[in-house]
């Protein structure tokens, strides 16, 4: 039997399925300390056990997005805060190539924040 995490990806139609699976691969390859978990009925990516980002779908824009858990601390014009105080999102289009360099840049910033600001002692 497939897990809820596996089903999240596999129940999607193409090209959404392929795009989400590619996004998952990009995130997991970014840093070997990133893990993939099913949390709050969402596919979450954790860094050193702490929530880093998740994949979900924007109701208004009808696009998937990466939600960055501590996104408010990330300085990037491509991230939207909307009405959220802590989380910022990065919308992406399943019909276009994923902007791998942008995604990696945002992930690098998010990890830097965890290593140097949030966990600084």
Phi and psi, residue 62, nearest 5°: 55, 40
If one counts the domains in the chain, the total is 1
Strands annotated E in the chain:
34-39, 42-47, 50-58, 63-68, 88-91
Residues in CB range of 15: below 8 A, 6 or more apart? 94, 95
CATH code, 91:
3.90.1150.200
What does the pLDDT look like over 54-100, one tens digit per residue?
999 999 999 999 999 999 999 999 999 998 899 999 999 999 999 99
Domain that holds residue 89: 4-118
> What SS3 string covers 67-82?
EECCHHHCCCCCCECC
Q: Is the pLDDT of residue 121 over 50?
A: no
Instruction: Tell whether omega for the bond before 15 is within 30 degrees of 0, i.e. cis.
Output: yes
- Please tell me the pTM assigned to this model: 0.92
């Amino acid at each position: 039997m497939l897990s809820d995490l596996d089903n999240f990806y596999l129940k999607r139609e193409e090209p959404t399925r392929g795009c989400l699976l590619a996004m998952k691969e990009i995130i997991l390859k970014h840093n070997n300390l990133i893990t993939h978990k099913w949390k709050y009925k969402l596919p979450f990516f954790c860094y050193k056990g702490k929530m880093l980002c998740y994949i979900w779908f924007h109701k208004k824009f009808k696009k998937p997005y990466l939600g960055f858990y501590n996104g408010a601390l990330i300085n990037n014009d491509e991230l939207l805060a909307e009405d959220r105080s802590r989380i910022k999102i990065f919308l992406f289009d399943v019909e276009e190539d994923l902007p791998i360099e942008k995604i990696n840049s945002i992930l690098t910033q998010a990890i830097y924040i965890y290593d140097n600001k949030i966990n600084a002692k």
